[in-house]
Copies of this chain bind each other. A is one copy, B any other.
């Protein structure tokens, strides 16, 4: 008698929940998430730099490190990357500036972040929870959903 298991057992007929999506669609879900992960940290840096400039007049590495709860070395390394990507300009030991492209990204990210944050609040989530959730969710919300969120928030306010 063989100890091999059958290669394809039939699904236990009475299983609950939705069916699995077709392979291609399922694959696209994960791919989209992986792509978002590649850009999200960049976006958060650029957005924060923009916010610091707007609210404080300048963006310094030490402030970024404090606000992100990350070492200064990590920030320094990331700034080099942002530089290479053409998003910020920086001279050694001086504060940071956004390039045209960086400003555009900062603006877009901030707008999206705000929509998600305001949506969560309109939904009834308390401010500090909303801020935490928005920081992560923002990178995974499609433009379509963003539009719907914005409409919802406006409805609630009226």
Chain A contributes a number of interface residues (CB within 8 A of B) equal to 65
Across the interface, do A29 and B139 meet the contact criterion of CB distance under 8 Å? Answer: no
Which residue on B lies nearest to A28, using beta carbons?
A: B132
Across the interface, do A20 and B51 meet the contact criterion of CB distance under 8 Å? Answer: yes
Is A92 an interface position by the 8 A CB rule? no
How many whole Å from A25's CB to the nearest CB in chain B?
7
How many whole Å from A78's CB to the nearest CB in chain B?
13
Which residue on B lies nearest to A51, using beta carbons?
A: B20
Across the interface, do A125 and B145 meet the contact criterion of CB distance under 8 Å? Answer: yes
Could you mark each residue 92-123 of chain A with 1 if its beta carbon is under 8 Å from any beta carbon of chain B, else 0? 00110000000000000010001000001001
Is A158 an interface position by the 8 A CB rule? no
